[in-house]
Structure 1
Amino acid sequence: MVRIYNSILIALVFNISWSQNELNLISAISDKNKVVFSCENNTKISLEFLDSKNIKFWYAPEGNFNRNNESFAVINENFHANYAITVNESASVYEIFTDDLRVMVYKSPFKIQIFNKYQRLLLGDDDSRPYTVEGTKIKAYKKLRNDEHFFGLGEKTGSLDRRGNSFIMWNSDKPCYSDREDPLYKSIPFFMSSYNYGIFFDNTYKTTFDFGKESKDYFSFSAPNGAFIYYFMYGKDYKEIIKSYTELTGKPIMPPNWAFGWAQSRGLLTNEELTMDIAKQYRERNIPCDIIYQDIGWVDGLQNFKWHKDRYDNPKKMLSDLAENGFKVIVSQDPVVSQATIEQWQEANSNDYFAIDKRSGKSYDMPWPWGGNAGVVDFTKPEVANWWGKLQQQPINDGVKGFWTDMGEPAWSNEESTDRLQMKHHLGMHDEIHNVYGLTWDKVVTEQFEKHNPNQRVFQMTRAAYSGLQRYTFGWSGDSGNGEDVTSGWKNLANQIPLGLSAGLGLIPFWTTDISGYCGDITNYDEFSELYIRWLQFGVFNPLSRAHHEGNNAVEPWLFGPETEQIAKQCIELKYQLHPYTYTLAREAYDTGIPIMRALVLEFPNDENVYGIDDQFMLGKDILIAPIIKEGATKRMLYLPEGNWIDYNSPEKMYSGEQTIEYPVSLKTIPMFVKFGAIISKMPIMQYINQIEHAPVIFEIFPSEKPSAFELYEDDGTTNNYKRNIFSKTRIESHGSTSLLEISLFENQNNLFKTEKRNYVLQIHLPSKPKKILLNNAKLKPTTLSKINEDVNSNFNDSGFNYSSENQILTIRIPDSKQKTIISITK
């Protein structure tokens, strides 16, 4: 009898799946921007056009367009008000036309193909089966072309090009993860194809993506439960697709300007004496630093937001003293309350603030890595927000500047931890909420911070998240490094590059690796120093650069010896010098979603040579970085894309693009190239952001005969006024010829934000001394380099130039008049 029953059950499942393979379309109803197709077996498919390039698909095998919860990620589907489409019907097909797309919906068997207006197939259903249904599981199959490449899915290990691999979305705590391990901490079900489209699969369950691993003829994505909704986004390039995804899921908030400085942390950096000593060492050694982190041990009880009395004598005074010296302190949060923290646990338990164990109806008893068993705070419950907001405000009132939200998977809730599926949250069972648990927490943290600190810019960096996180938080890549042997973490370092670039493609523009790698005991600092340097040389170009390591393994630069300290100091100083350039890119990320660290495919989408490059990236559009990721390297093979390139370390060396070169390196070398024509905004080296008042703006110019431009972005750096477009922009242009170079600084475009008095310093790379220099048609006088740098922060009346034949750099100093200024240089 059991065998007969099982056979019947298998047959039913098979028939359900088979019936979806052979779907036939019965009818269609269209209304303005939406078409609903009715098929056999009550199946319905909705196509809703957000505009001429973006479509929302909803596949409903039972004919009901219902979902348990509104989207956690999507906040805007109104791309084009009152948008309308054209629908034509023939005997075998429906055709839907927009200005950019032609969508063909075949009646029998049912399938959909999307073409651009030039009749090039962008995305097509697999001919044999567009969808399969097995119980609550739905799977979509799409045509896979031989030359198709895929990028995205956020923080995932492996190569940037996802083709030939499969991936799972299930936020997982994976300490010391390998370069091929999946899943990891974040779930970003958004990817892009080299055929000019992107897909966002808006399903929070344990979704899977297969980019040709199962078959070379199709790729697929599936969900075990929930509404089967995905968004198709067409664009001329990856940047345009990311802009659509940003419009769909929201702009990334900007960090405070000091967040782009250097940050120091360690697992047991959890006491006042150590914190003050680290701060003292940084300032005495003149190594720039803005942020010192405190890990979870800073609290008296998990998670009551009270300072540990045995570790902090006077936390308010500590924070005040640090602030006077330019340091900001960030503290850790965990999303649980330990049962040992009796008063808080009882309060939360009595108010039903914890996730419930559906078997007992009581608060779920979660084993936690420290602090003993705990209750899991249910951030999907509205009443929790104000309670948590008041608690987290306590250290903010003391002077803390922000949080890093750790362990939000929640920790130890990996694929094998099936008991966690018994948790019931206010908005649903854990299989639906798991991937968005961290997102709901980060939403509460930011909204409550802004409620208690009006118009102040939040700093919040998270480990676990889902699409939409950019509206509330920033990201870091979790517990990287080799836990078995810290000195053997070269593969772990190498993997952080494509992982970070993929994070940027998934709308996590403000990101960092744990510089040094989190995992592994450091028993010999000399042996580890080379890997530490190489990790740092990559990490200083992360938007948020944090040195961090587990336990009491300290990774301050001076611990590795004088040579390493000096190399680290120079790298960190370079990060600070590039701050105005990076901060301008931060505004671009806010406006467009385009990350600061960019995979080469973003800037060179038509160059197939860059598809397989995982170890180089662009910093903005003008700077190329090729970190060293091999032990004992004396040379580096690297690819220069289209264009002409200047070696930033030796500007007299120039290279043509679309070639691979062998580049010599030493321990202190960071291979770094800039485009011909690039204009890089810089600032003087400071020990912390905004240390020097009235500091000059430095423009380093690599002139070419083609016109080039840069627009410097500035705001107050700490408030949310940037969201109201209160900022300043200054445009600088360079126009060159064989005999003349003209530099134009345009009138400062400010919207209620006025820049301070200051000077401009132009560093122009020229192979020979110019014959004549005019400033607004008046002859500019030569002077010494020391005179140019003298009182540059206080004297705003003097102008002059100096040419160094040795460095082949023309340095010009002029006051920032806030008006249009033209500098004419006769070569």
Structure 2
Amino acid sequence: MSKVFSWVLTTASALTLSLAPLFALAVEHYQSHRITPQGVVLTTDQGEVSVEFYNPHSVAVWYQPAGVTQLPSLLIGNPAQPVELALASSEQQLTLQSDALQLVINKSPLSIAFYRDGELLTRDQAGLIQADGQLGFDFSLAEQEKLAGAGQRVLGMDRRGHKLPLYNKAHYGYSTESSQMYFSLAGILSDKNYMLLFDNGATGELDLGHSQTDQLRFRAQGGRSSYLLVAADTTPELIQQYLAVSGKPPLPARWTLGNYASRFGYRTEAEARAVVQKFRDLKLPLDAIVIDLYWFGPDIQGHMGNLDWDREAFPSPEQMLADFAADGVKTILVTEPFILTSSKRWDESVTAGAIAPGPDGQPKTFDFYFGNTGLVDVFNPKAADWFWQRYHELLTQGVGGIWGDLGEPEVHPADTYHYLPGIGLQPADAVHNAYGHRWAELVHQGYRRDFPAQRPFIMMRAGSLGSQRFGMVPWTGDVDRSWGGLKPQVELALQMGLFGFGWIHSDLGGFAGGEVFDPELYIRWLQYGVFQPVYRPHAQEHIAPEPVFHSQDVINTLRPWLELRYRLLPYNYTLAYQHSQSGIPLMRPLFFLDEQNPALRDEANSYLWGDAFLVAPVTEPGVTSWPVNLPQGIWFDFFSGERLEGGQVLQRPVTIDTIPVLVKAGSFIPMTDSLQRTADYQGKALTLHYYADQSVATSQYSLFEDDGVTPDSVAKGQYELLHFAATTEDNRLTLNFSREGGEYQGKPASRDLTLVLHNQRGKARKIYLDGRYIPIVAQPQRFARGDYMAWYDKANKQLKIKLPLTADSKMLQVRY
């Protein structure tokens, strides 16, 4: 329940915290303050400073010096919630407090210290710093504090000690080290369980204790002089509180979790059709095809900006789209924000006012790899409307998803200007990192307005803090097709996931270079891909990225992995639901299980896939074993069933057919039968695996189901949550079933459930479902008494129980 807003005014004697002397240069001095519904506004000798709580855990501080242009917020996506606050005032300080945070505001010089449970988190040492045409902030760092964040970098999980550019920039063919990449984020997450996020999309720099070991410095070339501080008891709670302010990622369509055919690129309609048919002929599942540059022109250069089909290469695209859709295959088209002067749309875009101007007010043109070009001014409503109309035309034809490439923007001359409503023209450096964010926003808004029955699919390479609320599906860019390119993919995904970008994924198999096909590398990358958010092999065409074009040995090795991806659909879709509700990512750092373990904080080679799985991708050739940093507890090998003790680093045996995949004791894993497309999924028949162990007395799990396509299905009540709770006693295992939610299209009245209980000591003596006895038989095929039966798989130590799961099912008891 939200608390009623109230104020408590106290005297100086009520203060329990004080600020230590600050060494930072005094830049601003308090004069007065006024109370607002969410905090206070300070009047200073330079302007105003608003301190506004968005919830008890999150506070935004916005410095508004007189005469300084302030750009719109990127980070804030939701209105503030009612918060109970207390204010204390003395001659030297103000203390502002919620249930979770205490701010001590030193009046002169102005500075703010942030406390949680009496512990200093960090200190805004000198307020807003303005110098050399830049704005910025300096914050204190504790001696042993670890910092994640700053977006896509290959530096290790702890980014402390680095000075990092905040400038979204392509890094073609990166591998084991990169300090600047496609998607920078102006924020950090501390192991002291706070986040510090700068609400600014300008070109800048983030110094994480590099220049001065006990100081974090943020600098930007304009933008917005505001930041958000969030604090909580655990990292998952921290992410949830941040996204309650910034906006949660929406639930995508179920097909997003399927297999994609993708390359640079399919040159003709005939080739695209043949690729889809190849998957069907080989009975390898497929849900999407991604068509790169050649859909709008025959060559790499000279055609970007046409934003329409090349009818010579794709003579009947509408029919192709319809045929693919009838086969359960969505078509995703690449688009770019560059309109070449040689393209068919150049004159039209200029007339529409869609091209960003230069200093002379005329459309700015410049050369880059693809030709002489202008850049769509996505900030300008006129340009955004023109750009959206191109998308509207394509989506009306039947295009299933939008791919926005080169959105850093890849080339962004400093003398380019962008028009912001109510503000006017701003130079490129003031908005550079906001470009992809605004592009995603205009596509998302267009979808919601013009295609309200569709869940948007928006895959983009760059954005900023806050872009997750537009359903952005980012990827890790043009990675080198090498073992070095594979190694950092876990780190990249975990770092982005901590800030709400749970759909981050890599070009499976690697994109750039690689003159000779390496089947082992390819297999290892696609095995890892089974446990990443989007399964999309993608590469330059000289080596086929699609498994169907490789040897029978490669196909045979990968087939069970691709089938596993689809069999895990109910589990993976539940992860997508969890991400949309709380922001917790699909790929999770191991330290989620033990936040006080520094070794798990630094772990960048293995990760959790949801609550159940621990995955350790193999990233070196020719190995027969692979290390797994196993957290405390009991774990099971997913393939062999072997029971393992945690709290140690284990060498696990591997072959070309396996990578270490472990399951935490007490986990539920729902699975379905093999599918050829996600559209075939009905949820009627489910296999529910439960990994029983005496070390776990109780455990719970909730399976999410809806029709997979309806937008806002949760808000509309068009979903079902199936709750499972297990209790383990000496001679009894009890499973309780319950449901919540409403009706949706295709909801089964009853589900055929096969329950697989792992780690069974022996045969059960008796099994009851709501008091009904379930007979235990030697072999299931010999039993012909309806849908209730159980049997013991001695070889795998599994007890299997088949039963109908209805709305009336409440409790299953297994007695040993």
- TM-score, scaled to structure 1: 0.89
- Assess if the C-alpha contact under 8 Å between 1:153 and 1:506 holds in 2: no
Aligned to 2:224: 227
Deviation at 1:727, TM superposition (A): 1.0
Tell me if structure 1 keeps the 8 A contact 2:31–2:43: yes
Quote the Cα distance in structure 1 between the aligned partners of 2:157 and 2:469.
Answer: 24
Q: 321, 324, 329: which is aligned to 1:322?
A: 324
When structure 1 is superposed on structure 2, of 753-762 and 546-555 the one drifting more is 753-762
CA distance 1:207–1:244, shift in 2 (3 Å): farther
Alpha-carbon deviations, 1:482-507, whole Å to 9, x = none?
3xxx4xx2222111110011111121
**2:432 paired with 1:434:** yes
1:543 counterpart SS class: coil
Q: Secondary structure at the match of 2:536?
A: strand
- Corresponding residue of 1:4: none
Letter in 2 for 1:501: L
* 1:478-535 deviation line (CA, Å, top 9, x unaligned): 43333xxx4xx22221111100111111211112200011101443x3xx11111111
Question: SS of 1:538's equivalent?
Answer: helix
Residue 708 of structure 1, aligned match among 689, 695, 699: 699
Unaligned runs of 5+ in 2: 1-21, 298-302
Asked whether 1:681 is paired with 2:683, we answer no
In the alignment, which residue of structure 1 is the partner of 2:94? 94
Q: Does 1:410 align with 2:409?
A: yes
Q: 735, 742, 767: which is aligned to 1:773?
A: 767
> What is the number of residues matched between the two proteins?
780
The whole-number CA distance in structure 2 between the counterparts of 1:122 and 1:238 is 14
Q: Determine the C-alpha separation between the residues in 1 that align with 2:655 and 2:123.
A: 50
- Does the CA-based 8 Å contact 2:358-2:415 persist in structure 1? no
Alpha-carbon distance in structure 1 between the residues aligned to 2:55 and 2:311: 58
AA of the residue aligned to 1:700 = H
1:802 aligned partner: 791
For 2:551, the equivalent position in structure 1 comes to 561
Q: How far is the alpha carbon of 1:752 from its aligned partner?
A: 5.2
In structure 2, distance between residues paired with 1:532 and 1:707: 40
Residues 397-796 of structure 1: matches in 2 within 5 Å?
Answer: 397-413=396-412, 419-426=413-420, 428-482=426-480, 486=481, 489-523=482-516, 525=517, 528-651=518-641, 653-691=642-680, 693=682, 695-705=684-694, 706-722=697-713, 723-747=715-739, 749-750=741-742, 755-757=747-749, 758-765=751-758, 766-783=760-777, 787=781
How far is the alpha carbon of 1:324 from its aligned partner? 3.0
Pair 1:35-2:40 in alignment: yes
Secondary structure of 2:406's partner?
coil
* 1:1-44 deviation line (CA, Å, top 9, x unaligned): xxxxxxxxxxxxxxxxx9970357443313044334455x5365
Q: 1:57 aligns with which of 47, 58, 61?
A: 61
Out of 56, 69, 80, the position equivalent to 2:71 is: 69
Q: AA paired with 1:187?
A: S
1:475, distance to aligned residue in structure 2 (A): 2.8
Hey, what does 2:365 align to over in structure 1?
A: 365
Distance 1:749 1:439 in 2: 33
- Per-residue deviation, 1:785: 6.0
The code of the aligned residue for 2:337 comes to P
Alpha carbons of structure 1 residues 821 and 575: separation in structure 2 relative to 1, 3 Å: same
Q: Distance in 2 between matches of 1:513 and 1:120?
A: 39
AA matched with 2:672: M
| Paired position in structure 1 for 2:12 | none
Within a 5 Å distance, the mapping from 1:118-129 to structure 2 comes to: 119-126=118-125
**TM-score scaled by length of structure 2:** 0.91
Deviation at 1:402, TM superposition (A): 0.9
3-state DSSP of counterpart to 1:610: helix
SS at match of 1:732: strand
**Contact 1:386–1:448 at 8 Å: present in 2 too?**
no
Write 1 or 2 for the structure with the bigger share of helix: 1
Name the residue aligned to 2:198: 201
Q: 1:212 to 1:383 in 2, by over 3 A?
A: same
- Give the distance between the partners of 1:363 and 1:759, measured in 2 at CA: 62
Deviations, residues 185-206 of structure 1 (Å, cap 9, x unaligned): 1232232111121111001111
Aligned counterparts of 2:128 and 2:419: Cα–Cα separation in 1 = 31
Amino acid at match of 1:345: W
Separation in 2, partners of 1:238, 1:272: 47
Mark the CA change 1:395 to 1:111 in structure 2 (over 3 Å): closer, same or farther: closer
What SS class does the counterpart of residue 492 from structure 1 fall into?
helix
SS in structure 2 at match of 1:547: coil
8 Å contact from structure 1 (residues 20, 132) kept in 2: no
Equivalent position SS for 2:151:
coil
Q: How big is the shift at 1:404?
A: 0.9
Separation (CA, whole Å) in 1 of partners of 2:285 and 2:746: 27
- Sort the Cα spacing of 1:534 and 1:728 in 2 relative to 1 into closer, same or farther, 3 A: same
1:384 and 2:383 matched: yes
**In structure 1, what is the equivalent of residue 340 of structure 2?**
338
Residue equivalent to 1:14 = none
CA contact (8 A) 2:612 2:664 kept: yes
Letter in 2 for 1:34: G
Contact 1:493 1:629 in 2 (8 A): yes
The Cα of 1:368 is off from its aligned counterpart by 4.2
- Cα distance in 2 between the residues matched to 1:25 and 1:84: 27
Identify the residue that residue 6 of structure 1 maps to in structure 2.
none
User: How far apart are 1:615 and its partner, in Å?
Assistant: 0.7
Paired position in structure 2 for 1:150: 147
Segment of structure 1 superposing worse, 328-337 or 579-588: 328-337
Report the Cα offset of residue 310 of structure 1. 2.4
* Farther off after superposition, 761-770 or 600-609: 600-609
Distance in 2 between residues matched to 1:274 and 1:318, nearest whole Å? 11
Q: Would the alpha carbon gap of residues 353 and 412 (structure 1) be closer, same or farther in structure 2, given more than 3 Å must change?
A: closer
Distance 1:367 1:767, change over 3 A: farther
Q: Which residue of 2 is the match for residue 10 of structure 1?
A: none
Hey, what does 2:395 align to over in structure 1?
396
CA offset at residue 379 of structure 1? 1.6
Q: Which amino acid aligns with 2:154?
A: T
Query: For residues 394 and 226 of structure 1, do their structure 2 counterparts lie closer, same or farther at Cα, with a shift above 3 Å needed?
Result: closer
In the TM superposition, residue 46 of structure 1 has moved relative to its aligned partner by 3.4
| Identical positions, percent | 26
Residue 104 (structure 1) shift: 2.1
Query: 1:260-271 counterparts in 2 under 5 A?
Result: 260-271=257-268
* Distance in 1, Cα, partners of 2:732 & 2:429: 66
SS in 1 for 2:283: coil
Report deviation, 1:751. 5.1
SS at match of 2:726: strand
Structure-2 residue corresponding to 1:7? none
Matched residue SS, 1:278: helix
Letter in 2 for 1:741: L
Closer, same or farther: CA 255–98 of 1 in aligned 2, 3 Å: closer
**SS in structure 1 of the partner of residue 389 of structure 2:** helix
Change beyond 3 A, Cα 1:89–1:656 = same
Per-residue Cα deviation, 1:578-599 (whole angstroms, up to 9, x for no partner): 1111111111111111111111
The answer to whether the 8 A contact 1:85-1:98 is kept is yes
Alignment partners' CA distance in 2, 1:788 and 1:499: 51
SS at the partner of 2:436?
A: helix
The AA in structure 1 aligned to 2:410 is: A
Query: 1:386, 1:538 → 2: CA distance?
Result: 40
